[in-house]
Amino acid sequence: MTKKLVGPQRVKTARKRTPQSTAWLERQLNDPYVRKAKADGYRSRSAYKLLELDERFGFLKGARRVIDLGLAPGGWSQVIRRQVPNCTVVGIDLLPVDPIEGVTILHLDFMTDAAPGMLQDALGGSADLVLSDMAANTVGHPQTDALRTMALVEAAADFAYGVLRPGGAFVGKVFAGGADAALVAELKRRFTTVKHAKPPASRKGSVEWFVVCQGFKGESAQ
């Protein structure tokens, strides 16, 4: 019996659905990473961004303590728990996140004064890896959106400097063009290697990139 091929799926525009939301639904239905995430039990397609970055850079290997900044809906923390099951994971997000086994979740804005101390207390020691998938809510103005997201990655990097063990790693989301020159210079002073990467799971039209910093120099870079 010949197997019937299924082509691209389309969503009819419902009375209460905007053309933009219809386009988003069509993209979701036809996205292989969305289908794979459902099959593999991940909460979001972004899990594969972390898997692909780790396959290239290997920062999860041997990690014992990891902080996940902007963890909602939890795909990255799920990857960490699957790749290194005995790892202590602490995540934070302003949005509510359903529990993940083995992950301590703080429902809090990372930019509040109390957040860094609470994360460190929950982790119980120096971090091997700090991950930041944080991005500011977009306002539709590319330069403004890039600056707001850059402010978040700068804050995440400053936090990483204070919590990472020597030899640790930091991975943060940036916009197209990468981190700005001043931040890159500081990261290169603090880490042995600093590279930009766009994993295949990032959509082609997306402006997101990631800065991957490994070999934290600790106090020697102060």
pLDDT tens column, 53-81:
999 999 999 999 999 999 999 999 999 99
Whole-structure pTM value: 0.84
Q: What is residue 214's three-state secondary structure?
A: strand
CA angle 184, 187, 190 (to 5 degrees): 155
pLDDT surpasses 70 at 37: yes
Check residue 14 and give its pLDDT: 55
Q: Among residues 3, 16, 38, 173, which one is catalytic?
A: 173
Which of 103-112, 142-151, 198-207 comes out lowest in average pLDDT?
Answer: 142-151
Check residue 219 and give its pLDDT: 73
Q: Radius of gyration of the chain from Cα atoms?
A: 19
- Token pair, residue 54, equals 């780790």
Which of 34-38, 104-108, 117-121, 211-215 comes out lowest in average pLDDT?
Answer: 34-38
49 assigned to active site: no
Q: In what order do the strands lie in the sheet with 88-93?
A: 103-107, 88-93, 65-69, 127-132, 164-175, 208-216, 191-197
Check residue 54 and give its pLDDT: 98
- Sequence-distant (6+) residues with CB within 8 A of 1 are none
Average pLDDT of every residue of the chain: 86
Check residue 206 and give its pLDDT: 80
pLDDT surpasses 50 at 45: yes
pLDDT surpasses 60 at 15: no
